[in-house]
Amino acid sequence: MPTASLSAIAAGYRHSVLLLPDGTVRACGENTYGQCEVSGWRDIVAVAAGNAHTGNSHTVGLRPDGTVIAAGWNKHDQCNVGDWHDIIAIAAGWRRTVGLKADGTIVAAGRNNEGQCEVSGWADIVAVTAGDWHTVGLKADGTAITAGNNRYGQRNVNGWQELTMIAAGYLHTAGLRADGTVVAAGLNKRGQGEVGGWCNIKSIAAGSHHTIGLAWDGTVMAAGWNDYGQCEVSNWQNIVAVAAGCTHTLGLQADGVVVAAGSNAYRQCDVEK
């Protein structure tokens, strides 16, 4: 049965976040709304960053006691998560935050104009991901449930089976199957859904217009928009986790070093310091 994963790296619209082994957090990149002001965070076990195809962003941290902290853009109350409890996993989309509770239910805060926060009736959820305008939950039986915008078919996942992980981008969704193959639905204008030939994948991430796959051998593959070099990851080695932002991609190596590819206009790829 799939289980919720806890992320040590996160890529937002124009910023990057790293969770250190001691429970502290670092961030680099755009900080217009304070989304990188995480230096005071302690005892964090997972991080998430609000991604978007355009716009502002926020950062979310999960504590071991099941509470949540957030920093950054809060126009739509996406950072109003201080009263959450019993949370075991977090996700951040454009203008909203989503939390998975220990009982398999979901809570959400933020913009709901597309119905992307209408998740209160979900049950038996083991993982959750947030795109720009849609939210996807992974159920204990390996199927997926969705809420929000479906203009480009990004919610057309009803036939997916034996899933172990899900990832939501701007207008597309990717799913990792137990056999290591990947499926995708939604907008494919940039080729972000062309993942049918992938195999031996252990983890996936979805950026605004690109999809990343981490193979069991520690190498990484990518599909989709590459105007900023965000898909130039074929030479990466010994990677244990990946994250995808709007125009950049992050990889965490087994030795704890972070590598990055893509746009560095806001120093979101300055992760070697």
Which residue matches tokens 């069991």? 216
CA 46, 96, 160, 188 torsion: positive or negative?
A: negative
Tell me the C-alpha distance between 62 and 156, whole Å.
30
What are the tokens at 155? 């919610």
Question: Can you give the pLDDT at residue 258?
Answer: 97
CB 224 within 8 A of CB 209: yes
Question: Can you give the pLDDT at residue 142?
Answer: 98
CA distances from 210 to 1, 33, 248 (A): 27, 25, 9
Question: Can you give the pLDDT at residue 54?
Answer: 75
What are the tokens at 128? 């959750």
Tell me the C-alpha distance between 99 and 27, whole Å.
21
Question: Can you give the pLDDT at residue 70?
Answer: 98
What are the pLDDT tens digits along the chain (273 aa)? 665 677 899 999 999 999 999 999 999 999 999 999 999 999 999 999 998 777 789 999 999 999 999 999 999 999 999 999 999 999 999 999 999 999 999 999 999 999 999 999 999 999 999 999 999 999 999 999 999 999 999 999 999 999 999 999 999 999 999 999 999 999 999 999 999 999 999 999 999 999 999 999 999 999 999 999 999 999 999 999 999 999 999 999 999 999 999 999 999 999 986
| DSSP assignment of 101-166 | ETTS-EEEEE--TTSTT--TT--SEEEEEE-SSEEEEEETTS-EEEEE--TTSTT--TT--SEEEE
Tell me the C-alpha distance between 121 and 184, whole Å.
25
Cα 203 to chain centroid distance, Å, stands at 11
Q: Which residues contact 235 (CB under 8 A, 6 or more apart)?
A: none
159 burial level (CB within 10 Å; 0-12, 13-18, 19+): exposed
251 burial level (CB within 10 Å; 0-12, 13-18, 19+): buried
Question: Can you give the pLDDT at residue 1?
Answer: 60
Question: Cα-Cα-Cα-Cα dihedral of 64, 32, 106, 169, to 10°?
Answer: -120
CB 84 within 8 A of CB 105: no
